[in-house]
Amino acid sequence: MTVTPRRTHLFQNRRELHQFLRPYKQVAQEKKQSQIVSISVEVNAIDPLVFLQAFAKANQLSFYIEKREFGQEIYPENGIAIAAIGAVSQLTVSGETRFAAAKQFVQSTLAKTTVCGNAHLPLAGPHFFCSFTFFEHSEPQSSFPAATVFLPQWQVACDQQSHGEQRCLVVANVMLHATTKLETTVDELYQTWEKIQSIHHTLLMPAIDQRELLKVCDVVATQHFKQSVRSALASIQQETFNKIVLAHAVDVVSPLPFDRVASLHKLRQLYPGCYVVSTSNGRGQQFISASPERLVSLRNGHLETDALAGSAPRGQTTCDDARLANRLLTSAKELHEHRVVSQFIHQQLAQLGLKPQYSPLRLLQLSNIQHLQTPICAAVTPGIHLLDVVAALHPTPAVAGMPREIACHQIRHYETFERLLYAAPIGWVDHNGNGEFAVGIRSALIDGRRARLYAGAGIVAGSDPDRELAEVQLKLQALLQALV
């Protein structure tokens, strides 16, 4: 990867852009190898979700991720929002080496990439957007492959620092082949750039609220879910495994196609502390999630992850809420369910040679549910790539169980639907190795007028089938409330 720090505004005029790109086309001709030029430009504030709404097409890959810490009006305090559309380069792969293949793809793509423009700013430079399915193999006819990694054509990203300063960057990635017609490429780039500049700043929300008209039906009977919990409890008693996370799914049909962007907007309003994430496969199917669960983030050698397991509803009154919170914090069953996850994360990070440090156990309170959460951090040595950590952690016992292989095998036996991207890593990694992955829970797969919603619950000794079903139904509400 080459970094060319000069020329901060390459979109100043068409001729200059043409002159700047011409040598890279020559390199592509001489080396007989395509070159990628990644141009970052700081711009006035644009809501990345508005950019997604204005530019994403059904036949293109696209990606959205937003995480804000506090329920602010538009942008996150200490948070980020990134939208990406189109792919200049992409990898789809399946099998047990999928994370290694994803890392190799990122590294080999960067080897032929020149980073220029405002490249030193946070959120500048090439970013790779990644989604994985829960299981390492996906069916050939599945809507999402076991791994998808892409470098977008266009990316719009905003961050907000704790002191209120907000920064917005547009990144254009350009692929230059030996045969590229530079005039046409520059024209297309310039036109899109001008369109991005003329984006108006509000989201278009659907005129009709169709939520009253939604038809919701269980993919498998709730009796089946409860029966699976009972059967899993028998296996736990026989010590076949000590924890398993069982999921339930519902199908929702609406009179009109679901509006992904409007749903994402509702999700970010309803769940301000969560990752609001979406990706589309370029064939009309879209995945959306409002996940409270960070798999891992890495910034300048500082890794953060969370053990998140153990749940209770929020109370109707302050007093009721405190009672439920207190019960969650002192329940032996919930604490055991949580400890299985934090011990596993410790073991996996230690195997990578890291020394994890734990913050005290705390409550993560969302609008409808609360969880036990232990933040974990570690210093990461340069030889370890973010995707190595993703490979080591996924799936944690928060979404699979323990021992992991047995739990995963049993999940396939109990669940009669494909998990696909549900409960799997979804996130990004940039040219400096920084990045962030969420766990795709509280999620839905949208296909036109149909959506499949997923949610699961951890089963350990002491679990009660009725309570686990109630927990799963509560978690399903997260998406049900936001689908428009």
Ligand X SMILES: C=C(O[C@@H]1C=C(C(=O)O)C=C[C@H]1O)C(=O)O
Beta strands in 346-433 (DSSP E): 357-358, 362-365, 369-379, 401-402, 425-430
| Selection from 43, 44, 49, 68 nearest residue 204 by Cα | 49
Q: Residue 389: in which H helix or E strand, if any? A: helix 386-393
Give the residues across from 14 on adjacent strands. Answer: none
Q: How far is the CB of 176 from ligand X (least distance, A)?
A: 43
- How many residues comprise the chain? 484
Under rule CB under 6 A, residue 310 binds ligand X: yes
Residue nearer to ligand X on the CB measure, 378 or 479:
479
Choose the stretch contacting ligand X; rule: CB under 6 A; options: 59-67, 153-161, 183-191, 303-311: 303-311
Show contacts with ligand X in window 16-35 (CB under 6 A): none
Under rule CB under 6 A, residue 345 binds ligand X: no
Q: Rounded to 5, what percent of the chain is helix, strand, coil?
A: 30, 30, 35
Positive or negative, the Cα torsion across 62, 66, 71, 77?
Answer: negative
- Report the SS3 class of residue 291: strand
C-alpha separations of 326 from 6, 311, 370 in Å: 57, 12, 11
Is the backbone peptide bond immediately before 403 cis, with ω within 30 degrees of 0? Answer: yes
Residue nearer to ligand X on the CB measure, 44 or 330:
330
Q: Which of 295, 309, 402, 445 binds ligand X (CB under 6 A)?
A: 309
414 HSE (CA, 13 A, CB side) = 28
Residue nearer to ligand X on the CB measure, 112 or 371:
371
* Cα(395)–Cα(344) distance, integer angstroms: 10
Binding mask 358-387 for ligand X (x = CB under 6 A): -------------x----------------
Catalytic residue among 67, 243, 266, 475: 243
Catalytic residue among 293, 334, 415, 436: 293
Residue nearer to ligand X on the CB measure, 115 or 441:
441
Under rule CB under 6 A, residue 250 binds ligand X: no
Under rule CB under 6 A, residue 394 binds ligand X: no
Residue nearer to ligand X on the CB measure, 142 or 473:
473
Show contacts with ligand X in window 399-458 (CB under 6 A): 399, 423, 441-442, 455-458
Structure-token pair, residue 398: 């928060």
Catalytic, 293? Answer yes
Catalytic, 103? Answer no
Under rule CB under 6 A, residue 475 binds ligand X: yes
- Residue 161 φ/ψ, nearest 5 degrees: -80, 165
Q: Which of 308, 469, 479, 484 binds ligand X (CB under 6 A)?
A: 308
Q: How far is the CB of 139 from ligand X (least distance, A)?
A: 21
Q: How far is the CB of 365 from ligand X (least distance, A)?
A: 13
Structure-token pair, residue 298: 């890495």
Under rule CB under 6 A, residue 180 binds ligand X: no
Under rule CB under 6 A, residue 233 binds ligand X: no
Residue nearer to ligand X on the CB measure, 183 or 466:
466
Under rule CB under 6 A, residue 145 binds ligand X: no
Question: Which residue is it, tokens 């996150």?
Answer: 76
Structure-token pair, residue 351: 């195997």
* Cα(306)–Cα(363) distance, integer angstroms: 12
Residues at the site binding ligand X, with contacts judged by CB under 6 A: 245, 293, 308-311, 371, 398-399, 423, 441-442, 455-458, 475
Active-site residues, by number, are 243, 293
